[in-house]
Structure 1
Amino acid sequence: MACNIRTIFVASLASIVFLTSLYHHHHLFHPQPIISSENLPLHPHIHPNYAIQEHHHHQQQIVPDSIPSVSILLPAWEVLVVVSPATPIPPDFIAGPFTCLFPNNVSSPAKPAGFLPAPYRTTFKCDFPTILHRRLPFPQPILTRSPERSTLPQSPELLRWNFLVYDSVSTENDVALFVKGLNHRQGGYRLANEFRCVFGDDDGVNGVKTTVTTSYQEVFRCRIPETSAFSNSGGGRIRISLEMSEQKRVVPSLAYYTPARKVVVEQPKSLLCACTMVYNVAKFLKEWVVYHSSIGVDRFILYDNESDDDLQRVVQELVQEGYNVTILFWLWPKTQEAGFSHSAIYANTSCSWMMYIDVDEFVYSPSWLNSPNPSHQMLKSLLPQSPSSKIGQVMISCYEFGPSNQSSHPLMGVTQGYNCRRRSDNRHKSIVLLDAVDESLLNVIHHFKLKQGYREMKMSVEDAVVNHYKFQAWSEFKTKFRRRVSAYVVDWMQEMNPESKDRTPGLGFVPVEPEGWLEKFCEEYDERLKDLTRRWFGFESPPADVGKDE
């Protein structure tokens, strides 16, 4: 009997050792792949009607100096932490230090990342720790000023950037939601009747629901319910989201409904404004603003896509000098089309026409070449002079300039430093009548769909042209590898669509200077705008900020 027991014990022990060795062999030689932050399943572990609640979890009792917040996983394993609007952080406290505290005593430094408006919310960014990349579900961190480690309770799952209502903007009649993860590709749009807007209750059960009228790109427009339908809870803040009607599933949301501003005394609209999305353009901005202001742009609206240079300081200096420049914090990655859609509503009460060009683009007309001085009527003369023309969009062709043998940013500015371009024009940029923009807000490459009854006018290169200083000195150009701003353009470091017109001919998939870069794209010397701006502005010394390295 004792012999049988010993035999059974030895056999069982051997089986355990054998199975354990198999387990370790599998995990050592067949490790689980690290999950990509840009190709994650949409909330695989959470309830379909997951409601966003700021991350309280009795934090004050568990983690000293913790701050209620909600967190989103962005591309490249960045975590965006949005502080609850109910607990704003005083400006003198924002400098920190702050920490993102994850379960299992894992932490990551948190850095200030700007502010979200309506309602005002402070944001921070931290890296999602590598040790957690293979563990699903990904937990939200607790934002704290204390570096002390604590044993945290079960954390809610990180929200995903690829499935999120991230912003909104209102008119007097409706509200536009900006949503990732529903209309995935250019031209592939789901029907508006597949969705409903949900005001108030995040879970879609008790919220007020209204009709969605348009669904294009990342923009969904909704009817506004009667104000009597809302309760007075939440300090007047009304969360707004989108419900997929058939699945009864509500998209997680960071957006709030803010009624459109009612102006008691209407101010006259500026005839011509300019809008662009920017990232670290402090050294270029003054040249661009001063030039376009001198030829007729009344106001500039900059959508700041996470700049970390001296942009704020340069804008403050321009404002002090009398230029009308506004910065809107727009941290959302790959959302240029959505940003321009937002601007078509945001600026409609203050601007009649909007020029959509980048900071490396300068508009001029060859007819100005003999003008001794710039005039505020120059650009405005390109616009239709009669409303009866029903022209809603003026399109201007682009000439693309090459590095022109410049090895660093030209001290005198881009108009003086780059003088050699491709021979043929490529693409165009637009000046748009905001009242003529279609309700869908659909736009592609600085070009909007117009309401029925309006038409476009394309100008000849003899009448107007955009000098696009696209292929600059390599030290400047390589920053384009950071991340393409369009939602529908592949990032250059992804080995996809190598023949795309968005890619630079001869450029690989890594930010390494191609051989012969200094002489590339030089087919024709063109110094017309260079000579014109030198005559107008002198350039006896470098313009402020132009020569500084940020």
Structure 2
Amino acid sequence: MHHSRRRLAFAAVLSITTLLLFFTCIPTGLIVFPLGLAGSMATRAQFVPPRWAAMETNQAVLLPEWEKNATCVFNGGAPSSSPARALGLLPASGRRAYTCVVPEPARRGHGHELAAPFVAFSGSASIVAGRLTVERLKWNGSVVYESAVVDGGDVLVFAKGVNARRGVNRAAADVRCLYYYHHQGGDPDHSVVLASLPAITSAQQVFRCPPPPLPAPVEHSSRDICVTLVVAGEKPIPSLATYDAARYGSAMPPVRRLICACTIVRDIAKFLREWVVYHAAVGVDRFYIYDNGSEDGLTDQVRQLASVGFDISIKVWPWTKTQEAALSHGAAGHQDSCEWMMFIDVDEFVFSLDWVNSEKPSKSMLQLVRRKYLVRLSMVDRSLINSVHKFKLQPRFRGVTDK
């Protein structure tokens, strides 16, 4: 495993001035502040409409990722707006995420009290500011931000702020998994609990939970079922995550491939083709790209590669400083589609030991930087604990290293 001559500045984090805005599984909005607002700097917002949002325009229009005919409308004293850019579909819920710059009039004098915007689409009716209340979540606090139903029915819940210290994980016995829904149009503080179950594992930002024992009641089937965590002695953690077992069970599984590659990227579109073409030539069958907020045409580049026969797809992953969690999502979520998975960056290229003595490329390009890992997904520990590319294995398995 070696670095190419082109060293990329890997940036799998969002800007410190990024401001995330979402609609949760209730018809309200929330704002996530990654690291706080910088008063003199531009600010961004991200928005996710629910599947059954109170604003009908959010259901009527599904924008392709490359279109920008949506607008974020802010109520900051005097109403103001900015263009909304579609990020794509979030992995668990399938809801579309949007990002937009928070204009100066909306930020001026409001600081952390900035209200969530509404999203208007071309041709939709005017939106009256203030018609919905908002719930604001701070990214620098505790928040459940994603979920995934994995093989066997277990639910992975991704949360920050629970295991806050690197290498120190709270015991799973101290964590419970809470499944619930809100009354449509009702008070978001009054929820209906469907199940409260003990967590199976707790490691880093990934918590494995058992599924709820019973399906959602028929009368609530049109609503999103939310999932969150409750740490012993504390209140439930604010959550963006949903649980939808039917969405995972209804899709036909892809053909299982021998070797897949998984990486998390931001703004590397111009380097992606070389990386994909090379690794496809040396035996990689499928590529999973976790997009950490790219603005350089990554989606178009992936479409071009797919159009000429490469098996490649994008996962929208806008969360700040969650590289290990993204790779855990990749390892757990693709066991039915990949036997082995390689976790490397886009400036790293696998090569055969038979090529070590080659004069082309030059020796300077073949300097060993550090080990990378090709892992058999069925052997990964259930906790999914990893140290960026290196996964802990189940007790009965061990790794093999070539010297």
- TM-score bracket, normalised by the shorter chain, equals 0.7 to 0.9
Q: Report the equivalent of 1:126.
A: 100
Q: Of the candidates 62, 84, 107, which is equivalent to residue 91 of structure 1?
A: 62
User: For 1:12-71, what per-residue CA distance to the aligned partner results, in whole angstroms no more than 9, with x for missing partners?
Assistant: xxxxxxxxxxxxxxxxxxxxxxxx9799xxxxxxxxxxx97323xxxxxxxxxxxxx544
Q: 1:174 to 1:154 in 2, by over 3 A?
A: closer
2:194 and 2:212 in contact (8 A); partners too = no
1:356 and 1:429 in contact (8 A); partners too = yes
- Kindly state the Cα deviation for residue 199 of structure 1 after the two structures are TM-superposed: 1.1
1:82 corresponds to which letter in structure 2? V
Q: 1:113 to 1:332 in 2, by over 3 A?
A: farther
Q: Of the candidates 385, 396, 400, which is equivalent to residue 453 of structure 1?
A: 396
Q: 1:267 to 1:206 in 2, by over 3 A?
A: closer
Q: Which has the higher helix share?
A: 1
Pair 1:141-2:107 in alignment: no
User: For 1:110-168, what per-residue CA distance to the aligned partner results, in whole angstroms no more than 9, with x for missing partners?
Assistant: 42232324433222223345645664544323334589896637943422123221111
Q: Report the equivalent of 2:166.
A: 186
2:51 corresponds to which letter in structure 1? P
State the alpha-carbon separation in 1 of the partners of residues 294 and 347 from structure 2: 16
State the alpha-carbon separation in 2 of the partners of residues 155 and 430 from structure 1: 47
Pairwise mapping of residues 156-195 of structure 1 onto structure 2 (< 5 A)? 156-162=134-140, 163-171=142-150, 172-195=152-175
User: For 1:281-338, what per-residue CA distance to the aligned partner results, in whole angstroms no more than 9, with x for missing partners?
Assistant: 2211111111111111111111111222232222222222221111111111211111
- Kindly state the Cα deviation for residue 95 of structure 1 after the two structures are TM-superposed: 2.5
2:120 and 2:127 in contact (8 A); partners too = no
2:92 and 2:146 in contact (8 A); partners too = no
1:430 corresponds to which letter in structure 2? Y
2:30 and 2:135 in contact (8 A); partners too = no
State the alpha-carbon separation in 2 of the partners of residues 158 and 129 from structure 1: 18
User: For 1:218-250, what per-residue CA distance to the aligned partner results, in whole angstroms no more than 9, with x for missing partners?
Assistant: 111111122246454151532111123312x12
Q: 1:197 to 1:223 in 2, by over 3 A?
A: same
Pairwise mapping of residues 294-333 of structure 1 onto structure 2 (< 5 A)? 294-333=281-320
- Kindly state the Cα deviation for residue 169 of structure 1 after the two structures are TM-superposed: 0.6
State the alpha-carbon separation in 2 of the partners of residues 53 and 266 from structure 1: 30
1:241 and 1:255 in contact (8 A); partners too = yes
- Kindly state the Cα deviation for residue 251 of structure 1 after the two structures are TM-superposed: 1.4
1:204 and 1:250 in contact (8 A); partners too = no
- Kindly state the Cα deviation for residue 74 of structure 1 after the two structures are TM-superposed: 3.8
1:72 and 1:81 in contact (8 A); partners too = no
Q: Which segment is superposed worse, 197-206 or 168-177?
A: 197-206
2:48 corresponds to which letter in structure 1? V
Q: 1:185 to 1:129 in 2, by over 3 A?
A: farther
Q: Report the equivalent of 1:100.
A: 73
2:136 corresponds to which letter in structure 1? L
State the alpha-carbon separation in 1 of the partners of residues 63 and 25 from structure 2: 28
Q: 1:344 to 1:204 in 2, by over 3 A?
A: farther
Q: Which has the larger radius of gyration?
A: 1
User: For 1:372-430, what per-residue CA distance to the aligned partner results, in whole angstroms no more than 9, with x for missing partners?
Assistant: xxxxxxxxxxxxxxxxxxxxxxxxxxxxxxxxxxxxxxxxxxx97x873596x332211
Q: Of the candidates 126, 130, 138, which is equivalent to residue 152 of structure 1?
A: 130
> Structure 1 length as normaliser, TM-score?
0.58
Q: Which segment is superposed worse, 125-134 or 147-156?
A: 147-156
1:91 corresponds to which letter in structure 2? L
User: For 1:331-358, what per-residue CA distance to the aligned partner results, in whole angstroms no more than 9, with x for missing partners?
Assistant: 1121111110001111100101100111
Q: Which segment is superposed worse, 425-434 or 203-212?
A: 203-212
Q: Of the candidates 327, 336, 344, which is equivalent to residue 357 of structure 1?
A: 344
Q: Report the equivalent of 1:547.
A: none
1:307 corresponds to which letter in structure 2? S
Q: 1:201 to 1:147 in 2, by over 3 A?
A: closer
State the alpha-carbon separation in 2 of the partners of residues 197 and 237 from structure 1: 16
Q: Report the equivalent of 1:82.
A: 48
State the alpha-carbon separation in 2 of the partners of residues 189 and 195 from structure 1: 11
1:277 and 1:302 in contact (8 A); partners too = yes
Q: Report the equivalent of 2:387.
A: 444
- Kindly state the Cα deviation for residue 99 of structure 1 after the two structures are TM-superposed: 2.5
SS in 2 for 1:201: strand
State the alpha-carbon separation in 1 of the partners of residues 223 and 135 from structure 2: 27
Q: Report the equivalent of 1:73.
A: 33
State the alpha-carbon separation in 1 of the partners of residues 241 and 328 from structure 2: 16
Pair 1:335-2:279 in alignment: no
1:138 and 1:158 in contact (8 A); partners too = no
2:200 and 2:209 in contact (8 A); partners too = yes
State the alpha-carbon separation in 2 of the partners of residues 364 and 311 from structure 1: 25
1:90 corresponds to which letter in structure 2? V
State the alpha-carbon separation in 2 of the partners of residues 133 and 351 from structure 1: 51
Pairwise mapping of residues 421-500 of structure 1 onto structure 2 (< 5 A)? 425-460=368-403
Q: Report the equivalent of 1:347.
A: 334
Q: Report the equivalent of 1:253.
A: 239
Q: Report the equivalent of 1:113.
A: 86
What is the identity percentage for the equivalent residue pairs of Structure 1 and Structure 2?
34
SS in 2 for 1:200: strand
Consecutive unaligned residues of structure 1, counting only runs of 5 or more, are: 1-35, 40-50, 56-68, 372-414, 461-550
1:169 and 1:175 in contact (8 A); partners too = yes
2:25 and 2:226 in contact (8 A); partners too = no
Q: Report the equivalent of 1:280.
A: 267
Q: Report the equivalent of 1:216.
A: 203
Q: 1:37 to 1:340 in 2, by over 3 A?
A: same
Q: 1:54 to 1:245 in 2, by over 3 A?
A: farther
Q: Report the equivalent of 1:420.
A: 364
SS in 1 for 2:98: strand
Q: 1:100 to 1:244 in 2, by over 3 A?
A: farther
1:104 and 1:151 in contact (8 A); partners too = no
- Kindly state the Cα deviation for residue 262 of structure 1 after the two structures are TM-superposed: 4.1
Q: Report the equivalent of 1:197.
A: 177
2:286 and 2:312 in contact (8 A); partners too = yes
2:134 corresponds to which letter in structure 1? P
Q: Which has the higher strand share?
A: 2
- Kindly state the Cα deviation for residue 274 of structure 1 after the two structures are TM-superposed: 0.7
1:74 and 1:161 in contact (8 A); partners too = yes
Pair 1:244-2:223 in alignment: no
- Kindly state the Cα deviation for residue 258 of structure 1 after the two structures are TM-superposed: 2.1
State the alpha-carbon separation in 2 of the partners of residues 137 and 194 from structure 1: 33
State the alpha-carbon separation in 2 of the partners of residues 190 and 135 from structure 1: 33
